[in-house]
Structure 1
Amino acid sequence: MSSPDPLPVSPGAPSEASPATSHDVLIVGGGLVGASLAIALDRTGLDVAMVEAAPAGALPAVFDQRNLSLAEASVNALRTLGVLPRLRTPTGAIRRIHISRSGDFGRVLLQAAEHGRDSFGQVVVARDFGDALEATLAALPRLRRYRPARFLGFSIDGAQDDRRVARVATEAGELRIAACLVVAADGTASAVRDALGIATQRHDYDQTLFVARVRGERAPDGTAWERLTDHGPTAVLPRGDGHYGVIHGVARDDADAVAALDDAAYLARLQRAFGWRAGRFLHVGPRSTYPMVRVLAERTVAPRAVLVGNAAQTLHPIGAQGFNLGLRDALTLVECIEAAQARGDDIGSAAVLADWAERRREDRARTAAFSDGLARTTANPSTLAAAMRGLGLFALDHDAALRARVVGGAMGYRGDVPRLCRGEAA
């Protein structure tokens, strides 16, 4: 993903003594989680502002042709927030999940009907989802949007008792924006996180993921396949437009050669990696690539600041946990803010942020461990690892209680689950 061009800062940029524009909440980042948070905060009546790199009329680069697997908990929340009804194209229901690994015995087939569900979740195209988020944001009368704009850092007086003051570059010059609470929703390479001095733990999986839309000889039937190999997963997801959303993992050293393949050669490679479970692949659309690096912030709160989404944790996409986890970060933060409002407390106080961090602790830890463990163990080519994986797949396929726990987590029900995710009204 390319970074936006730096915004010019006029020679007349304000000094530290210049007055700051003030808001209750300042969200830095207008991507998946930042936009969802702004929408969810609307019901609080607070003065909310958002700093966005993309100009008006353009979507952030994250809203491309990649496919998002929304867990049931996320579907519940986004439907209640009015986002999903604005989608222009139908979603693809995930009614079955088929998991296998090349070279291993055993496989797992999870069926939503066995757990009293019509589906485990829905597949949406990021671009369509971005349009739906934008349409919802445009209907919020109180939201102030600074765009195109870029976070520069915090002012010298940026950690006062009752506010933080952010420095933001805009086309008109530098602004100082004060807020009771600053939310970092600015992605993996978070400038806000860096400005707060929060360190990260990083692990490079040495994999590159290729993402594309693929048409097959058979239309999707609600099955999501996860085919695992030494070099990463190949996931084939049922889209609502009759195509498949395909994620193909390759070793980093092979990425340039794979990127250079023409469409016919790429489809042949994909067919070899995945097999014929969905029939013959006939056509592939434009391919995007993403290097896979796990980034975990060592803490998620600072005085009057909080990290959500990829700024807090960027996970391997195996198991499709990333956005779903980030959305739960955002919705739990809204609940903590509402509770503070009801008590008449300061929404950015240390106590409120400590409560949020504690509520997110179990879900964040378990989801990150699940994603990382799955990525590492499934890519391990050793004979012992293969035997252990086979036994694990066999146990999961034959143990109803174990399947229920795995399914519950995959649908977004880990730890302290926000009310909207549980299907309760706002």
Structure 2
Amino acid sequence: MAASSRSPESAPRSGNAAFASGGSADGTPAEPVIHDVLIIGGGLVGSSLAIALEPLGITVGLVEAVAPGPSDASVFDQRNLSFAEATVNALTALGVMQELAAAGGPIRRIHVSRRGDFGRSVLEAADHGRSEFGRVVVARDFGDALEKRLAGLQRLRRYRPARFLGFADTAHSGCRAVRLADADGERTELARLVVGADGTRGAVRGALGIGTSEHDYRQTLFVTRLRTDRAPDGTAYERLGDDGPTALLPRGDRHYGLVHAVAREDAEAVAALDEAGFLQRVQEAFGWRAGRFLSCGPRVAYPLVRVLADRTLAERAVLVGNAAQTIHPLGAQGFNLGLRDALTLAELISNARDASAGVDCGDAELLSAYVAARADDRRRTLEFSDGLARVTANPSELLRPLRSIGLLAIDRLPSLQAEVVAGALGYRADVPALCRPEGLRP
């Protein structure tokens, strides 16, 4: 199929520049647009990448599954995102935090314990020269803030609603031909670099022939908002148990964000509980540290399966965010890690552009540098998340004293605590410049 010369959707409310389509005055067909970067997936990471690329003056396209309008509940739901300090720094630099309807809830301390074990650990941000470790933001609010920033971008080409169909052969060297489906039918767009940001079960990874390794934790996660008889005081609680974690994240609206894991075989019965029954179950799993549980909002359930791409690189294509790695939520590392994927890629493209008159965003050397730059952060974060999930959910009596000693050691060993705090702040490895405090950016 020939490359389409039709222009992308550009609704007046979006603020995106409209692009002319068609041919020249003498009837000659227009040259097809070649995107420097075409992002497949307009979720949290894909949208953040589009915003980060805007200042570079390159041609960027964003393929989004949903039409213009209020954020869709299936994309930006009531999950509660825990932004590490590094993430807050970056999103502030990108102008996204300023667009939030509410500032979110500060995390001033982190309290970790395990049911049945005697150890516990409490980390205070003030002890490490911070007023907070990060912020808790409702995913839907964050989605609305991203949309406001996207609407103000002048160079971005938005394809929405549109669906990725796969790749096609192209006569244009140095490009990938991407097949999309929209309201007008099928179209083909050209890109020097395709970024797969379409989530855990997205189509880009499969179209690139990239396999996965998966581990089913046999847990189902219930997510909702929770009100107690005490307003949150900035403490993020992680209560571990045989069936997984129960976490309370301090939101900015006098509610907690609740994450409650149950054994997969119990999920159907838990989903059938009425509000009172669900609150009783969670209270028993968590305890009374945050007070009496009074009410909760609608519950959403997610099966917990770790999905890791066998590789994140293909010819003129990379995977970022959940398309590259979907990890256990223990420690709230998922979005923070995916954002660092996106920002590292944007930074490397920026550096390559500054070093020459132009930049080929799909250059093999540039993409290899991206994979190398992400290797340490990705490995360490995956090891932390998966290792903690497996050890803390293991009911073995032999592990109980080791777990308790480990929790106590975090409080008493400065070197171990420093490692844990660095991870909580988002600095487990070298991070993109935008993640650093403003005074430490180059």
Bin the TM-score by the shorter chain. over 0.9
**Aligned residue runs from structure 1 range 102-121, under 5 A:** 102-121=115-134
**Aligned residue runs from structure 1 range 360-375, under 5 A:** 360-375=374-389
The offset of 1:161, in angstroms, is 4.2
Structure 2 CA distance for aligned equivalents of residues 358 and 410 of structure 1: 23
Counterpart residue identity of residue 134, structure 2: G
Structure 1 CA distance for aligned equivalents of residues 178 and 376 of structure 2: 31
Q: Does 1:181 align with 2:181?
A: no
The offset of 1:286, in angstroms, is 0.5
Match of 1:80 among 93, 96, 100: 93
Structure 2 CA distance for aligned equivalents of residues 44 and 290 of structure 1: 37
The offset of 1:76, in angstroms, is 0.2
Structure 2 CA distance for aligned equivalents of residues 68 and 102 of structure 1: 24
The offset of 1:343, in angstroms, is 2.3
The offset of 1:58, in angstroms, is 3.9
Q: Does 1:253 align with 2:265?
A: yes
The offset of 1:214, in angstroms, is 0.7
Aligned to 1:334: 346
Structure 2 CA distance for aligned equivalents of residues 87 and 17 of structure 1: 38
> 3-state SS of the aligned residue for 1:384?
coil
> 3-state SS of the aligned residue for 2:222?
strand
The offset of 1:18, in angstroms, is 6.5
Structure 1 CA distance for aligned equivalents of residues 157 and 259 of structure 2: 36
Aligned to 2:431: 417
Match of 2:298 among 269, 280, 286: 286
Structure 2 CA distance for aligned equivalents of residues 349 and 144 of structure 1: 22
> 3-state SS of the aligned residue for 2:113?
strand
Structure 2 CA distance for aligned equivalents of residues 346 and 89 of structure 1: 39
The offset of 1:89, in angstroms, is 1.6
The offset of 1:23, in angstroms, is 1.3
Aligned to 2:114: 101
Aligned to 2:137: 124
Structure 1 CA distance for aligned equivalents of residues 44 and 347 of structure 2: 19
2:225–2:256: 8 Å Cα contact kept in structure 1? Answer: yes
Deviation readout 1:153-207 (Å, 9 max, x if unpaired)? 000239x641111000001111101011100000001210100001111000000
Deviation readout 1:329-376 (Å, 9 max, x if unpaired)? 000001110111122242210000000100000000000110000110
| Segment drifting more, 41-50 vs 53-62 | 53-62
Distance of aligned partners of 1:277 and 1:350 in 2 relative to their CA distance in 1, 3 Å threshold? same
The offset of 1:248, in angstroms, is 0.3
Structure 2 CA distance for aligned equivalents of residues 17 and 282 of structure 1: 57
1:21–1:176: 8 Å Cα contact kept in structure 2? Answer: no
> 3-state SS of the aligned residue for 1:97?
strand
**Aligned residue runs from structure 1 range 30-41, under 5 A:** 30-41=42-53
Structure 2 CA distance for aligned equivalents of residues 30 and 286 of structure 1: 25
Q: Does 1:295 align with 2:307?
A: yes
Counterpart residue identity of residue 268, structure 2: D
Counterpart residue identity of residue 152, structure 2: A
2:3–2:188: 8 Å Cα contact kept in structure 1? Answer: no
1:300–1:308: 8 Å Cα contact kept in structure 2? Answer: yes
Match of 1:26 among 28, 33, 38: 38
> 3-state SS of the aligned residue for 1:232?
coil
Deviation readout 1:273-325 (Å, 9 max, x if unpaired)? 00000000111110011110001111111111010000000000000000000
Equivalenced residues, count = 411
Deviation readout 1:57-98 (Å, 9 max, x if unpaired)? 142423111100000000000011100011112310000100
Unaligned stretches of 5+ in structure 2?
A: 6-31
2:36–2:360: 8 Å Cα contact kept in structure 1? Answer: no
Structure 2 CA distance for aligned equivalents of residues 359 and 161 of structure 1: 27
Structure 2 CA distance for aligned equivalents of residues 415 and 215 of structure 1: 36
Report % sequence identity: 63
Aligned to 1:11: none
Match of 1:406 among 409, 420, 432: 420
Aligned to 1:316: 328
> 3-state SS of the aligned residue for 1:89?
coil
Counterpart residue identity of residue 367, structure 1: T
Q: Does 1:157 align with 2:183?
A: no
The offset of 1:147, in angstroms, is 0.5
Aligned to 1:166: 178
| Segment drifting more, 119-128 vs 387-396 | 387-396
Deviation readout 1:86-139 (Å, 9 max, x if unpaired)? 111231000010000011111000000000000000000111111000000000
> 3-state SS of the aligned residue for 1:401?
helix
Structure 2 CA distance for aligned equivalents of residues 374 and 94 of structure 1: 21
Aligned to 2:363: 349
Instruction: Give TM-score scaled by structure 2 length.
Output: 0.91
Counterpart residue identity of residue 99, structure 2: R
1:16–1:156: 8 Å Cα contact kept in structure 2? Answer: no
> 3-state SS of the aligned residue for 1:53?
coil
Structure 1 CA distance for aligned equivalents of residues 429 and 294 of structure 2: 42
1:94–1:123: 8 Å Cα contact kept in structure 2? Answer: yes
> 3-state SS of the aligned residue for 1:186?
coil
Aligned to 2:204: 192
Counterpart residue identity of residue 363, structure 1: D
1:188–1:313: 8 Å Cα contact kept in structure 2? Answer: yes
Counterpart residue identity of residue 395, structure 1: A
Structure 2 CA distance for aligned equivalents of residues 103 and 32 of structure 1: 37
Structure 1 CA distance for aligned equivalents of residues 159 and 173 of structure 2: 25
Structure 1 CA distance for aligned equivalents of residues 341 and 271 of structure 2: 35
Structure 1 CA distance for aligned equivalents of residues 173 and 124 of structure 2: 52
Structure 2 CA distance for aligned equivalents of residues 148 and 232 of structure 1: 37
1:97–1:109: 8 Å Cα contact kept in structure 2? Answer: yes
| Segment drifting more, 402-411 vs 68-77 | 402-411
2:217–2:306: 8 Å Cα contact kept in structure 1? Answer: yes
What do you get for the CA RMSD once the two structures are aligned?
1.3
Structure 1 CA distance for aligned equivalents of residues 304 and 329 of structure 2: 8
